[in-house]
């Protein structure tokens, strides 16, 4: 898999609001572990945007937790997922 081609396609899908398909490609990209941190983090943030668009805020919150973006994670969890919010704050 050429990660640059896959990343462009994932971004196109995200821009075209084909969010489920974009998430699949971003997950494939995130399986690549030997890429620059900034590139990897960018894929994760874009995947999170797609997840939010699919009303999968809890999954998106855990992406932000992985990125150590605690405030973003808590904001996505809100009051609907209090146990998850407590885990984020640990």
Least Cα distance to 46 among 87, 88, 5, 9 occurs for 9
pLDDT by residue (tens digit) across 43-80? 999 999 999 999 999 999 999 989 999 899 888 887 77
Q: Mean pLDDT of all residues in the chain?
A: 90
- How far is it, in rounded angstroms, from Cα 62 to Cα 36? 21
In the predicted structure, residue 89 carries a pLDDT above the cut 80: no
Pick from 13, 3, 88, 85: nearest CA to 54: 13
Sequence spans of domains, the chain = 1-55, 57-90
């Amino acid at each position: 898999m050429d990660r640059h081609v896959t990343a462009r396609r994932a971004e196109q899908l995200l821009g075209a609001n084909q969010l489920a398909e974009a998430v699949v490609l971003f997950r494939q990209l995130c399986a690549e572990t030997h890429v620059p941190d900034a590139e990897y983090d960018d894929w994760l943030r874009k995947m999170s945007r797609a997840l939010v668009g699919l009303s999968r805020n809890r999954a998106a919150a855990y992406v932000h937790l992985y990125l150590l973006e605690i405030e973003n994670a808590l904001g996505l969890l809100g009051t609907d997922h209090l146990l998850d919010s407590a885990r984020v704050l640990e």
